[in-house]
Structure 1
């Protein structure tokens, strides 16, 4: 029986697609259709997607995507994510294919030019979390800054079906941080994956210690006389980059997304429509997935 309470599942599409692709391509053998179209990432994506839905039993599902490498952050810092290699050639055609699969489940694909998928999820979580439960499925720990009373973040661990669900309580228990402090820690230590430096010479351990001690970057800067001369000098030398790094680390929760049509993202799909897409991609082994997903929220 369907619960009267809504639970929105926000899926970090690109993170899951990349995870699925690399989990199956490391052997060098890429799954392809009989016509030679690479589909290994899409095939793996469906398995992750289906497991998340079975695990969290949502009433509504939305999938968010990056819309290119240029965003407002690259305008703020030209080297932002500048260290990332180009997508593998076999993955490129799967970007459109995976969205077609998501659409076949009548799940909306959300993305906004100039913004990252993170910003779309942050905006949706901020809007929806005021009245409904929201679960964000991702592999990105930056998302922990989005946690609220009704917004939880499920970090995907190794293997399908393995998640670490973070709430306000579990975030503080494990990391000793509030969601806002997640941003401040990143401002101090930077992020090698996103290619912004933070304060040169301050690593994760020191960043955590400083934010736990002084509560925020503002609290730290107001009390520089209480820290060691060595650390103080590093901060004073890199003060501009500290502020910029914190800005780059902050997920934008007011992206100009259109208002959601709740009916459009309600979890309810046409079995024949999904079957047709699976047949097109030669996903015969995944047909049983459809049967399991039909049981969610019936």
Structure 2
């Protein structure tokens, strides 16, 4: 890669590290009495990724509030999710302040999810390494872009490019949207076709290529599948719309190109971590080769 860009799903990593420690009530409250366990985990994870990938550029993407355009399409989208714990709420804005003080570029657009920003970047730029815990992003594989899905700690990942995705799933990345439409995503509050799980969804998409073809050829399906799909047709169609990541979010590409360059100012980073009383992370970064 000539101009490699590390793209981080900030909210995914923040939640991951918050819950990795909060079950032991390790909130790492700083001298401002703000819990920092999610923040410190995200920063350590980010800087370890910098050490591992040696990118020329980096952007940390964010969800910006609970409601997005998908809630306009479907009012129950993600409505089944429980509210975040009290100890996490102040970390949402605070982490962005700290990341800004460290000198790193961030991008979040109200009304859209981080997935949509990542999707828009993926169709406009090559040589991205996208890091998240969200398997939905696999639909974006292509060009020279890779996806690293978190597996364990900050060094173990499921690594995907377009070819090994197709080898594993025997469909194209674009067809993963149709699989999700059929099986739904209970975590996001949409359910596709009740009674169709991932195994059946994959089998149908391998044979019929997409949801549209399945509907057009519904008479060729077993009576059981016909009944399930016909009973949940509106759910299937809405699920397809919700599952597809948006790839035309409007933002300033000139600003992105200007600010994405990764500059590691170790003194500035050290001073930032000290000023926010992030001592565990400060000590961790001293041992990295960045």
Q: Could you give the per-residue CA deviations for residues 136-163 of structure 1, whole angstroms, max 9, x where no partner exists?
A: 1000000000111211111001222111
What is aligned with 1:230? Answer: 224
Secondary structure at the counterpart of residue 11 of structure 1? strand
Contact kept, 8 Å, 1:235 with 1:242, in 2: the verdict is yes
Contact kept, 8 Å, 1:66 with 1:116, in 2: the verdict is yes
Contact kept, 8 Å, 2:182 with 2:236, in 1: the verdict is yes
Secondary structure at the counterpart of residue 174 of structure 2? helix
> Mind listing any 5+ residue stretches in structure 1 that lack a counterpart?
none
CA distance in 2 between partners of 1:273 and 1:234 (Å)? 58
Whether 1:9 and 2:20 are equivalent positions in the alignment is: no
What is aligned with 1:171? Answer: 165
More helix by share: 2
Moved more, 16-25 or 209-218: 209-218
What is aligned with 1:36? Answer: 33
Q: 1:274 aligns with which of 269, 272, 276?
A: 269
**Count of residue pairs brought into register by the alignment:** 289
**Displacement after TM superposition at 1:13 (Å):** 0.3
CA distance in 2 between partners of 1:260 and 1:166 (Å)? 29
Q: Could you give the per-residue CA deviations for residues 224-245 of structure 1, whole angstroms, max 9, x where no partner exists?
A: 2222111011112222221110
Q: 1:197 aligns with which of 179, 191, 198?
A: 191
What is aligned with 2:118? Answer: 121
Moved more, 23-32 or 57-66: 23-32
Q: 1:251 aligns with which of 220, 245, 248?
A: 245
CA distance in 2 between partners of 1:216 and 1:101 (Å)? 44
Whether 1:142 and 2:98 are equivalent positions in the alignment is: no
CA distance in 1 between partners of 2:53 and 2:157 (Å)? 11
Q: 1:111 aligns with which of 108, 113, 137?
A: 108
CA distance in 1 between partners of 2:32 and 2:236 (Å)? 51
**Displacement after TM superposition at 1:180 (Å):** 1.0
Q: Could you give the per-residue CA deviations for residues 81-126 of structure 1, whole angstroms, max 9, x where no partner exists?
A: 0011111111111112211222233221111111111101111121
What is aligned with 1:219? Answer: 213
Alpha carbons of structure 1 residues 290 and 263: separation in structure 2 relative to 1, 3 Å: farther
CA distance in 2 between partners of 1:93 and 1:65 (Å)? 15
Contact kept, 8 Å, 1:224 with 1:232, in 2: the verdict is yes
- Show the 5 A alignment for 1:280-295: 280-291=275-286, 295=290
Alpha carbons of structure 1 residues 23 and 112: separation in structure 2 relative to 1, 3 Å: same
Contact kept, 8 Å, 1:101 with 1:274, in 2: the verdict is no
Contact kept, 8 Å, 1:147 with 1:153, in 2: the verdict is yes
CA distance in 2 between partners of 1:52 and 1:177 (Å)? 29
- Show the 5 A alignment for 1:51-62: 51-62=48-59
Secondary structure at the counterpart of residue 163 of structure 1? strand
**Displacement after TM superposition at 1:292 (Å):** 6.0
Moved more, 70-79 or 256-265: 256-265
Whether 1:162 and 2:156 are equivalent positions in the alignment is: yes
Contact kept, 8 Å, 2:132 with 2:149, in 1: the verdict is yes
Contact kept, 8 Å, 1:53 with 1:293, in 2: the verdict is no
**Displacement after TM superposition at 1:289 (Å):** 4.6
**Displacement after TM superposition at 1:279 (Å):** 0.6
After superposition, the CA RMSD in angstroms is 1.6
**Displacement after TM superposition at 1:283 (Å):** 2.4
